[in-house]
Amino acid sequence: MTAITLDGVATATAVKTELAARITALKAQGITPGLGTLLVGDDPGSRSYVAGKHRDCAEVGIESIRVDLPATATDADVRAAIDELNANPAVTGYIVQLPLPKGLDEHAALEAIDPAKDADGLHPTNLGRLVLGIEGELHSPLPCTPAGIVEMLQRYNVPISGKHVTVVGRGLTVGRPLGLLFTRKGLDATVTLTHSRTVDLAAEVRRADIVVAAVGVAHLIKPEWIKPGAAVLDVGITRVQDEETGKGKLTGDVDPAVASVAGYLSPNPGGVGPMTRAMLLSNVVDAAERALTR
Ligand SMILES: Nc1nc(=O)c2c([nH]1)NC[C@@H]1CN(c3ccc(C(=O)N[C@@H](CCC(=O)O)C(=O)O)cc3)C=[N+]21
């Protein structure tokens, strides 16, 4: 058996096409959605992610506002930039690119974001709403990677309700909120949230109908661990040296041999990454639509 590829590039394109129509409608009502990014320091990975987000915006007709601070910025500099983004009416949503350089207070930065403009869904108020399951009128942004994972599974009609999901990794942006999302009413999965102190990771992965690997350990997830037919989503990223060319390249958490056991495989790159970016755009459009009805 060879797994069906969960194609993040194609799925993100479909999401973006739908968003473009909503953006046109917003503009007809005099609102142009705008995404702000705050990038601190000169990490090449972060730079390239932020550049990608601005390209995405241009593609769908979202205005983008870019704020860059040097690696020498202080917590007060970061706070001042956040206050400006909060006050700027052209910014309907924005993100503070993580991680911040060592020594800066990430929690303080996330907390300073206006929750109504939080395009990442990582403000404590919005994470709290995820815990509370508040939807409808007040509905708030979901963290982009978890939202992208669920969106992709749904668009491929992979069953979630009643299924067992094993999430590998408990980080703020993926694992922890993903457990909350999958167990929400309406999705109704059973979740095992694993981490570096999990005693028998192989056994936890073996019971899963859906495996999400988000730890950043290259090729950690082995084919012998996978229940035949399971959906496997590779989210982790490690920069490694290509043995033949000596060049740096990106490698996921999932051993490529998993493709011969899994029913569905979301590759990395080309899987959840593009979906994360599409969900960021979606959060910005949602926020602009909510602002219209307030
Ligand atoms: N506040 C904040 N929000 C984030 O959402 C956030 C962040 N900080 N910090 C870093 C991580 C990482 N992240 C990625 C998004 C897209 C791809 C992506 O599209 N990757 C392409 C490959 C891109 C390439 O080749 O460089 C792919 O998977 O196909 C990857 C990684 C968002 N993050």
CATH number at residue 104: 3.40.50.10860
Q: Are 141 and 287 in contact (CB under 8 A)?
A: yes
Report the interhelical angle of 44-60 vs 8-28 (nearest 10°).
Answer: 50
Query: Which CA distances in Å does 227 have to 153, 218, 259?
Result: 17, 20, 12
**Using CA positions, which residue lies closest to atom 3 of ligand 1?**
97
In a domain, 104, yes or no: yes
Q: Say if residue 95 is in the same domain as residue 152.
A: no
pLDDT score, position 138? 56
pLDDT score, position 239? 87
Of residues 293 and 16, the one with the higher pLDDT is 16
Domain range enclosing 61: 28-118
Q: Say if residue 106 is in the same domain as residue 169.
A: no
Q: How far is the CA of 49 from the centre of ligand 1 (A)?
A: 5
Q: Say if residue 156 is in the same domain as residue 202.
A: yes
Q: What's the rounded mean pLDDT across residues 91-113?
A: 97
In a domain, 269, yes or no: yes
Q: Say if residue 157 is in the same domain as residue 95.
A: no
**Using CA positions, which residue lies closest to atom 31 of ligand 1?**
273
Q: Say if residue 60 is in the same domain as residue 97.
A: yes
In a domain, 7, yes or no: no
Q: Say if residue 221 is in the same domain as residue 267.
A: yes
Q: Are 128 and 106 in contact (CB under 8 A)?
A: no
Q: What is the pLDDT of residues 142-170, one digit of tens each?
A: 999 999 999 999 999 999 999 999 999 99
Q: At which of 101, 118, 135 does a domain end?
A: 118
Q: How far is the CA of 73 from the centre of ligand 1 (A)?
A: 23
- From the number of C-beta atoms within 10 Å of its C-beta (0-12, 13-18, 19+), residue 136 rates as exposed
Report the interhelical angle of 124-132 vs 175-182 (nearest 10°).
Answer: 30
Q: What's the rounded mean pLDDT across residues 222-231?
A: 98
- Ligand 1 pocket, 97 CB below 6 A? yes
CB contact burial 75-107 (16+ within 10 A = b; e otherwise): eeebeebbeebeeeeebbbbbbbeebbeebeee
Distance between CA atoms of residues 260 and 240, nearest Å: 24
Indicate the pLDDT class of residue 134, thresholds 50, 70 and 90: confident
Interface ipTM above 0.85 = yes
Q: Say if residue 182 is in the same domain as residue 97.
A: no
- Ligand 1 pocket, 11 CB below 6 A? no
Share of the chain above pLDDT 90, in %: 90
In a domain, 72, yes or no: yes
Say whether 163 is catalytic: no
pLDDT score, position 241? 83
Domains of the chain: total: 2
pLDDT score, position 135? 65
In a domain, 283, yes or no: no
In the chain, the N- to C-terminal Cα span, in Å, equals 52
Say whether 97 is catalytic: yes
pLDDT at 276 over 90: yes
In a domain, 76, yes or no: yes
Q: At which of 118, 153, 179 does a domain end?
A: 118
Q: Say if residue 107 is in the same domain as residue 150.
A: no
pLDDT at 40 over 80: yes
Indicate the pLDDT class of residue 242, thresholds 50, 70 and 90: confident
Indicate the pLDDT class of residue 247, thresholds 50, 70 and 90: confident
In a domain, 80, yes or no: yes
**Using CA positions, which residue lies closest to atom 23 of ligand 1?**
269
In a domain, 84, yes or no: yes
Q: Do the annotations mark residue 170 as ligand-binding?
A: yes
Q: Say if residue 112 is in the same domain as residue 148.
A: no
pLDDT at 292 over 90: no
pLDDT score, position 166? 98
Q: Say if residue 169 is in the same domain as residue 254.
A: yes
Q: Do the annotations mark residue 169 as ligand-binding?
A: yes
The answer to which of 44-48, 62-66, 120-124 has the lowest mean pLDDT is: 44-48
Q: Say if residue 99 is in the same domain as residue 161.
A: no
pLDDT at 49 over 80: yes
CATH number at residue 184: 3.40.50.720
Q: Say if residue 112 is in the same domain as residue 154.
A: no
* Mean residue pLDDT across the chain: 95
Distance between CA atoms of residues 93 and 113, nearest Å: 10
- Ligand 1 pocket, 95 CB below 6 A? yes
